[in-house]
Structure 1
Amino acid sequence: MSSTITGAAVGVESSASTAARAAVVEFAHARTWLLRSPLIAAAECPADVLVLDLEDGLPAARKSEGRDRALRMLRGPAAGAWLRISPPGTADGLADLDLCRRAGDALGGVVLAMCAGPDDVERVSAALGDGVPVVPMIESAAALLAAPTIAAHPRTARLAFGTGDFRRDTGMAADRMALAWPRAQLTVASAAAGLPGPIDGPCGEVAAARDAADHALAMGFTGTLALDPAAVDDAHAGFTPSPAAIAQARELAEATPTGDVDGSYAPALARARALLTRAAALGAL
């Protein structure tokens, strides 16, 4: 099943250009996840992953129309895109899962909005099978406390932080200090479960996208949601190892220690190797 998607003009591509969108970044390493309503016919997708948003991206009165549109896109120019779906215990969630089943191999994966716990991931997995990766969104206080068990579910591919709904649930401000603890919890839960770094909430205005990505990376995140295609390039830059960082990591990884080394050497070497692995996966070497 296709799991990635590169930049494309949805709704206007030929089949040849669709085939040319060879996956250059697997979802495990994807830096940007662009949320777009399926009602937008010609949305540019420069992101690593296109996510057709069936939850917040569709007004209640146009849910059915939006699902039909999403299915046509998946069967055509947006093959390999992901779907953001409502919780599986809701009527909208069940309808979204039915659409996912109908999409078959054209579906890249599922972003699960408002995930309450591992049972929600299990319901999605039971409905769609083991071959569909799931990215649960942590968007409430209860979900944050359940993040370790959500991350440990075998169908969980990565965690994502839904900052807007999380702030609404907790009363926290849109402040880096206030959100540092929940972000750290998601990073720790992901690492403990052997997952890639989590995906941050939307990177915000275009002018702030690079700074937001730099901060998220420092918190252990390795990707971000995006709402504006124009923010993607700067977000990519923030999550992609720089040439200087690659050179430094390569020097450390290739060096042969002489004499005694202290306790910092092994962790530093592991970080250097991890950076080089990530750079290779992103085509940055």
Structure 2
Amino acid sequence: MSLTHDTSAGAASVAPAPARVDLARTWMLRSPLAGGLETSADVLVLDLEDGLPAGRKAEGRDRARAAASDAPVWLRISAAGTRDGQADLALGRELDDRLAGVVLAMCAGPADVAHVAASLPAGVPIVAMVESAAALLAAPAIAAHPATRRLAFGTGDFRRDTGMGVDRIALSWPRAQLVVASAAAGIAGPIDGPCGPVDQAQDAAAHAVAMGFTGTLALHDAAVDGAHAAFTPSPAEVDAALALLSATPDGPVDGSYAPTLARARALVERAEALASL
């Protein structure tokens, strides 16, 4: 899959084309200090925020700069308006066309998206992370900003800010808000918080799919296969959808018929798009 960075041949592969940003299922957050860009995730994101201790921020940026010499890179940048955020944006401007996109940590509202978009080369994709109660309430406006390609749910910081537990019921309302905000803005479904323990990755991703998410952040490569399995329509699901779409009703249909067909069509289209990556 061409969204993956792979250094097995000595260089990273070409970064994802903008259209594929909307399809990416797994977004691997990795510290630039960790070394190695090889991953089976759809997108590798060099984490300049939580991935770097305060005393090694400059070193981390230097490593990200070096990685960009092989192929365009995605960067997770610190909050807009902060000193580290400004330094991260300066690096993004320096990289120019070697910057594939940014994941904006701690996005507080559409003004943050506007600031980042104005500070980077035109057209750089922005994934805005919603990580606080205030940001969740602003999610519709964040999603509607023209520079926002997707929303991402920063579950750890959100739970810290709100006091919510990790329980799925507790987080179902904020997750639903992000899904609705994305759909209303006409952008791809949001990206869920890190998929947790490796042995639970597929189950966590399946829950995210049921909530309307279309991707997840990841911290460990061993979680990627399970997440991909959940976020990719299965052959059985595709066959059932195709059978429904090819069937001609021979009698009355009810009000659920058209929405059911639309969901089946969307599933087939997503499966075909993912297969073409």
**TM superposition score category, shorter chain reference:** over 0.9
User: 1:88 deviation in Å?
Assistant: 1.8
Find the counterpart in structure 1 of residue 74 from structure 2. 82
Q: 2:257 matched to 1:265? A: yes
* CA–CA distance in structure 2, aligned partners of residues 177 and 215 of structure 1: 11
Moved >3 Å (runs of 4+): 21-25
Question: Given residue 123 of structure 2, which amino acid in structure 1 is its aligned partner?
Answer: G
User: 1:14 deviation in Å?
Assistant: 2.8
Q: Structure 2 matches for 1:142-221, cutoff 5 A?
A: 142-221=134-213
Moved more, 102-111 or 145-154: 102-111
* CA–CA distance in structure 2, aligned partners of residues 36 and 168 of structure 1: 22
User: 1:40 deviation in Å?
Assistant: 1.3
Residue identity over aligned pairs, in percent, reads 66
CA distance change for structure 1 residues 206 and 283 in 2, over 3 Å: closer, same or farther? same
Q: Secondary structure at the match of 2:21?
A: coil
After superposition, give the CA deviation of every residue in 1:11-32 in whole Å (9 maximum; x if it has no partner): x6435x735x886981101100
**Which residue, out of 27, 32, 40, partners 2:26?**
32
Q: TM-score, normalised by structure 2?
A: 0.95
Question: Given residue 134 of structure 1, which amino acid in structure 2 is its aligned partner?
Answer: I
Report if the CA contact (8 A) 1:34-1:228 is conserved. Answer: yes
Q: 2:2 matched to 1:8? A: no
* CA–CA distance in structure 2, aligned partners of residues 252 and 228 of structure 1: 38
Q: Structure 2 matches for 1:40-119, cutoff 5 A?
A: 40-76=34-70, 79-119=71-111
* CA–CA distance in structure 1, aligned partners of residues 84 and 44 of structure 2: 21
Report if the CA contact (8 A) 1:241-1:284 is conserved. Answer: no
Q: 2:16 matched to 1:18? A: no
Report if the CA contact (8 A) 1:35-1:226 is conserved. Answer: yes
Question: Given residue 67 of structure 2, which amino acid in structure 1 is its aligned partner?
Answer: M
CA distance change for structure 1 residues 24 and 83 in 2, over 3 Å: closer, same or farther? closer
Report if the CA contact (8 A) 1:6-1:24 is conserved. Answer: no
* CA–CA distance in structure 1, aligned partners of residues 236 and 148 of structure 2: 33
Question: Given residue 130 of structure 1, which amino acid in structure 2 is its aligned partner?
Answer: A
Structure 2 unaligned segments of length 5 or more: list them: none
| Paired residue total | 276
* CA–CA distance in structure 1, aligned partners of residues 98 and 55 of structure 2: 26
Moved more, 275-284 or 160-169: 275-284
Q: TM-score, normalised by structure 1?
A: 0.92
* CA–CA distance in structure 2, aligned partners of residues 24 and 241 of structure 1: 22
User: 1:44 deviation in Å?
Assistant: 3.0
* CA–CA distance in structure 1, aligned partners of residues 18 and 115 of structure 2: 30
Find the counterpart in structure 1 of residue 124 from structure 2. 132
Question: Given residue 14 of structure 1, which amino acid in structure 2 is its aligned partner?
Answer: G
* CA–CA distance in structure 1, aligned partners of residues 79 and 187 of structure 2: 22
* CA–CA distance in structure 2, aligned partners of residues 81 and 56 of structure 1: 17
Question: Given residue 18 of structure 1, which amino acid in structure 2 is its aligned partner?
Answer: S
After superposition, give the CA deviation of every residue in 1:190-239 in whole Å (9 maximum; x if it has no partner): 00000111000000111000000000000000000000011001000010
